[in-house]
Amino acid sequence: MTWSFSLGRLFGSELRIHVTFFLLLAWVGFASYSEGGPDAALNNVLFVCALFACVVAHEFGHALVARRYGIKTPDITLLPIGGLARLERMPENPLHEIAVALAGPAVNVVIWAVLIALGARTSTDALIALDGTGAGFLGRLALVNLFLAVFNLIPAFPMDGGRVFRAVLCLRMDRVKATRYAAYAGQAVAVVLGFLGLTGGNPVLVLVAVFVFVAANAENQDVAMRAVTRRMMARDAMITSFEALSPADTLGTAAQAVIRTTQHEFPVVDETGSLLGFVTRGNLFAALAAEHPRSDPATSVMEENIPRVNLASGLEDVLDLLHKGAPAVAVCSEVGAMLGYVTRENVGELIVIRGR
Ligand SMILES: [Zn+2]
């Protein structure tokens, strides 16, 4: 994730922090300073840091259980809205998925129990109103951990409870259908949260609702896409009718090709037919906007790191490469000649045609 930097490695995962997190800290510090002076500012900033340590612990709960099933977690990123453990893949065995999903909230329950044992006091009234004021530092932290556990257990995507719900449905139906139901549940929850946020004048709740709605939809589409791609190969999806550029072509030639065709990306192919890289419409426009001379070679804006696969490569692997940010995946013959290429857009078209 861009705009984030590394804090170091912990249990084999890189812990990253997003710069906007510091904006949140600064805002909390400033807001409480103007209301209650330096003591309140320090207290609240420390509280946010302690809260995010609990969020990190929650994510490591997922990561360490996933590792037991042989799934690595390359990195965990702290965002102002919470943590994000990037698992290499999701476990597809429903029972494993349940264990991985429950491990996060379980960590928060353990923290809550430890804090209570250490003497943190929270009243049930405060719990219902979600109002930690007057409960003291440890009391507030205990309360917030209980909230994290309960909120994440709501049986709707993208919350952890949604994964449990999907996994349970998977025992009786296929994964695509199960994901669709869990995503619908997520969107229903999002609508309720959004309504509560709007009527109660709570902008944070509205933001959470939007996030939940979008994430539920994204997971639904991703799983549907994967189900179709698993049955296919790169040859089924590749674009074979396209215009290519030669290494001698200029930015001006490439710009004309953008207008003449519907392509958004152009392979640069040498005289032997092997691929040198791709010129994307985005890179080309940026170069022209920066007033690069049109006589500059098109290769000056070419992306060279284009993943290559062969005709029989699985389309799911191709999709993974596109997810990692490649503008296109080239399909090459055994001697390295370019046969065609696959973009996210044309996998999307394939899904519409074949996936229903
Ligand atoms: Zn979680």
Taking the C-alpha atoms of residue 269 and residue 341, their distance in angstroms, rounded to an integer, is 12
Name, in order, each residue with C-beta under 8 angstroms of 314's C-beta and a sequence gap of 6 or more: 229, 230, 232, 233, 234
**Exposed/middle/buried for residue 292 (C-beta within 10 Å: 0-12, 13-18, 19+):** middle
Q: What is the pLDDT of residue 130?
A: 47
Q: What is the pLDDT of residue 132?
A: 47
User: 75 has which bridge partners?
Assistant: 14, 86
CA distances from 121 to 52, 86, 97, 124, 155 (A): 20, 35, 34, 10, 29
Q: What is the pLDDT of residue 229?
A: 78
Ligand 1: centre distance to CA 73 (Å): 13
What tokens appear for 353 in the block? 């045609």
List, run by run, the mean pLDDT of 10-residue segments along the chain (356 residues).
74 81 80 81 85 88 89 80 74 86 93 87 56 67 87 84 89 84 88 89 80 81 77 86 91 91 91 90 89 89 90 86 85 88 84 66
Ligand 1: centre distance to CA 88 (Å): 15
Ligand 1: centre distance to CA 233 (Å): 33
Q: What is the pLDDT of residue 131?
A: 46
CA distances from 14 to 17, 101, 258 (A): 10, 20, 40
Ligand 1: centre distance to CA 62 (Å): 7
What tokens appear for 314 in the block? 């699985």
Q: What is the pLDDT of residue 266?
A: 93
Single pTM value for the model? 0.64
DSSP state of 23: H
Name, in order, each residue with C-beta under 8 angstroms of 161's C-beta and a sequence gap of 6 or more: 101, 105, 152, 153, 154, 155
Ligand 1: centre distance to CA 240 (Å): 42
Ligand 1: centre distance to CA 128 (Å): 22
Q: What is the pLDDT of residue 122?
A: 67
Ligand 1: centre distance to CA 81 (Å): 12
Ligand 1: centre distance to CA 106 (Å): 9
Ligand 1: centre distance to CA 101 (Å): 6
| Degrees, nearest 5: CA angle 225-231-90 | 55
| Residues with a beta carbon under 5 angstroms from ion ligand 1 | 104, 160
Taking the C-alpha atoms of residue 282 and residue 144, their distance in angstroms, rounded to an integer, is 44
What tokens appear for 292 in the block? 């690069």
Amino acid making up residue 34: S
Ligand 1: centre distance to CA 219 (Å): 15
